[in-house]
Structure 1
Amino acid sequence: MFSTMFQIIYFRGNYTLPTCGLLKKHSGRSRKCSTNSQCAYNEHYDDKSYTVGYFSKERLTITSDVVGNFIFGCGQTNEGLFGGIDGLLGLGRGQVSLVQEAAQKYKNFFSYCLPSTISSTGFLTLGKSSELSSSLKFTPMVMLSLGQSFCGLNLIGKSVSGLKLSIPTSGFSTMGTIIDSGTVSTHLPPTAYNALRTTFRKMMHNCPMTCSSMPLFDTCYDLSKSQSVSITRINFFFSMVM
């Protein structure tokens, strides 16, 4: 649950070619604006979800703060996991993100707290908050070689059931580690993933494995006949700032 209230006041305008070109810079794929000045997009994701729509321009009101000429994607056809979702909030480093477009107001600062349990409440704070504790521990974001629109973290190690895996840091730091709150699965380089999978399977050897209908997953278990199961814990370690 977020305490911040968003209100979008819609108007349809003309989109110049330079504005349409921001989509190419953001995604790496070329876009074409039609003769009626509408710029279409088509985004597909690994889980087979996709969204098709138009690059739009709005006036965005956040509580009492107004961001004029706010540009974003207005989805016309949204399928897969997007079918029951109102939209995605962009918090990346790219030009077509809320953080960048509202930089004049919030100075590129935001805090996003994911709740640790179902009963806990997370929060999103735009701007540099004076309410954050001075003793708060956090991991800094880093620049990535994959592109300036992504948010990156410095991953330094992993463990399975308290056993730290022997993986060279170069195994997952060459291109940087992307953090994306809109992605529910974790992707790792082959060297790092194989070590994690092998150790995890050993720890879970008493549970029957099963095939998955999704090609993304190769380590799945059938727990339907189990009354109680102890799931092996996986930990990721990031560089911290006190």
Structure 2
Amino acid sequence: MAAARWPAIIGLMAILLPFAPFPARAATLARSPPSSTSSAVFQLHGDVYPTGHYYVTMNIGDPAKPYFLDVDTGSDLTWLQCDAPCQSCNKVPHPLYRPTKSKLLPCANSLCTALHNGQSPSKKCTSQQQCDYQIKYTDNASSLGVLVTDSFSLPLRNSSNVHPSLSFGCGYDQQVGKNGAAQATTDGLLGLGRGSVSLLSQLKQHGITKNVLGHCLSTSGEGFLFFGDDMVPTSRVTWVPMARSTSGDYYSPGSATLYFDRRSLGMKPMEVVFDSGSTYTYFAAQPYQAIVSKIKGGLSKSLKQVSDPSLPLCWKGQKALKSVFDVKTDFKSLQLSFGKNSVMEIPPENYLIVTKIGNVCLGILDGSAARLSFNIIGDITMQDQMVIYDNERVQLGWIRGSCSRSPKSIMSFP
């Protein structure tokens, strides 16, 4: 979904476009029957600033080769830049994925139909032998290609590995921001949304893991990701029923009332979406302006507003800052209340960053400037808490704790 997945500030939900040809070369809700009791676990790397995203290493193909994929719960399609041959690709960490015709997903496949769902009848595959796609994100980044199927090597908690054949995008024409030739720190994107083409949904269909996802993003440049529900803490998790977003099939806990320092801002509840593909948190114009006003009104005279290329609203101290904790007492916590006993606490370290030059900046951005119609909880606000997307019980949960640990220690969380 949103920000800095590439060099842009926002790179949000995907919008399917017309196709191009492959080159001639707290609720307790009903649970679905369990498909597996194991989970796949991965180490994460990245940060909110300056990298702007968290990524996982996926081993794909036979023999398996490593690829860095940006973790995105705000879109469904997983894709790799690939040499099909490539018409427009960015410089990426690993050699481009090379498809073969035997790997092409036919147009008649149900995943192709699901991917194209909502398109007008005239938008069809250019060939029945392949499934074309073109996807665009709200930072104007895009990927054009075909769907392929290949083996994924997934490490399970029981120390075994499985190698399911999963479908994903082979992107041979990428446009990233304003420069299609930009250097990218990842090889592609890991789509973990709610749709059937999502890798999470495919793993459920294969009977490998339940349709449950969790991630823990550390402020220290690491974290962990898991598929399956046997790693979900059995207590202290704040659960909220998953709501149907009015703006699309995204992970939403519904509407929340926004508080500043535990005091209501007097605004109507705001629809919220959880999006690991968004670096920053985005509020609609009214709550954004209200928060900015409250923050500015409570600052000490030692902080002066200053221009910084990193973010729109920044301050400098009497000396260069090294950490958000240097100025934490100057800022108050925010709260999002989703109902009785369902509150997400947002302390200053979950909405501020300190830049390379030692300024402190607000990591909540004006969503209206990015043409968003709702509010996004991005990586900055999800740091150092496990966030759980439980599609089996149709609920979202979170629990605060350090994410700077190995995935093996997750069961002792927090």
TM-score, normalised by the number of residues in structure 1: 0.73
Distance 1:123 1:184 in 2: 17
Describe the shift of the 1:88–1:138 C-alpha distance in structure 2 as closer, same or farther (beyond 3 A): farther
Q: Pick from 187, 195, 217 the counterpart of residue 114 of structure 1.
A: 217
Q: CA deviation at 1:37?
A: 3.2
Q: CA deviation at 1:102?
A: 0.8
8 Å Cα contact 1:165/1:196 also seen in 2? no
Describe the shift of the 1:233–1:184 C-alpha distance in structure 2 as closer, same or farther (beyond 3 A): farther
Q: Aligned residues: percent identity?
A: 22
Distance 2:241 2:215 in 1: 13
SS at match of 2:163: strand
In structure 2, the residue matched to 1:97 is 198
In structure 1, the residue matched to 2:42 is 2
In structure 1, the residue matched to 2:226 is 125
Does structure 1 residue 12 correspond to structure 2 residue 103? yes
Correspondences of 1:47-58 after superposition (within 5 Å): 47-58=139-150
In structure 1, the residue matched to 2:88 is none
Distance 1:83 1:128 in 2: 32
Gaps of 5+ in 2: 1-40, 44-55, 62-98, 156-160, 343-396, 400-414
Q: Pick from 253, 272, 284 the counterpart of residue 153 of structure 1.
A: 253
**Letter in structure 2 aligned against 1:46:** T
Q: CA deviation at 1:184?
A: 1.2
Describe the shift of the 1:37–1:146 C-alpha distance in structure 2 as closer, same or farther (beyond 3 A): farther
SS at match of 2:188: coil
Q: CA deviation at 1:234?
A: 5.0
**Letter in structure 1 aligned against 2:209:** Y
8 Å Cα contact 2:107/2:128 also seen in 1? no
In structure 1, the residue matched to 2:9 is none
Q: CA deviation at 1:96?
A: 0.9
8 Å Cα contact 1:94/1:148 also seen in 2? no
In structure 2, the residue matched to 1:67 is 164
SS at match of 1:197: helix
TM-score, normalised by the number of residues in structure 2: 0.46
SS at match of 1:139: strand
**Letter in structure 2 aligned against 1:2:** F
Deviations 1:134-175 (A, max 9, x none): 333233351323366411124533344x2534244x4313xx
Distance 2:116 2:183 in 1: 22
Describe the shift of the 1:181–1:233 C-alpha distance in structure 2 as closer, same or farther (beyond 3 A): farther
**Letter in structure 2 aligned against 1:195:** A
Q: CA deviation at 1:118?
A: 0.9
Q: CA deviation at 1:101?
A: 0.7
Distance 1:52 1:97 in 2: 17
**Letter in structure 2 aligned against 1:6:** M
**CA root-mean-square deviation:** 3.5
Describe the shift of the 1:7–1:238 C-alpha distance in structure 2 as closer, same or farther (beyond 3 A): farther
Distance 1:225 1:47 in 2: 35
Distance 2:130 2:257 in 1: 46
Distance 2:211 2:240 in 1: 14
SS at match of 2:280: coil
Q: CA deviation at 1:54?
A: 2.0
Describe the shift of the 1:49–1:236 C-alpha distance in structure 2 as closer, same or farther (beyond 3 A): farther
8 Å Cα contact 1:171/1:189 also seen in 2? no
Correspondences of 1:1-242 after superposition (within 5 Å): 2-3=42-43, 6-9=58-61, 11-17=102-108, 18-25=110-117, 28-29=118-119, 31-35=123-127, 37-63=129-155, 64-68=161-165, 70-78=166-174, 79-80=176-177, 83-103=184-204, 104-115=207-218, 117-118=219-220, 121-129=222-230, 131-140=231-240, 142-146=242-246, 149-154=249-254, 156-160=256-260, 162=261, 164-168=263-267, 170-173=268-271, 177-204=272-299, 206-210=303-307, 219-221=312-314, 223=316, 226-228=319-321, 230=327, 232-239=331-338, 240=342
Residues paired across the two proteins, number:
227
Q: CA deviation at 1:209?
A: 4.3
Higher relative contact order (CA 8 A, sep 6+): 2
Q: CA deviation at 1:59?
A: 2.8
Gaps of 5+ in 1: none
Of the structure 1 ranges 53-62 and 200-209, higher mean CA displacement relative to structure 2 is found in 200-209
Q: CA deviation at 1:98?
A: 1.4
Describe the shift of the 1:145–1:158 C-alpha distance in structure 2 as closer, same or farther (beyond 3 A): closer
**Letter in structure 2 aligned against 1:52:** L
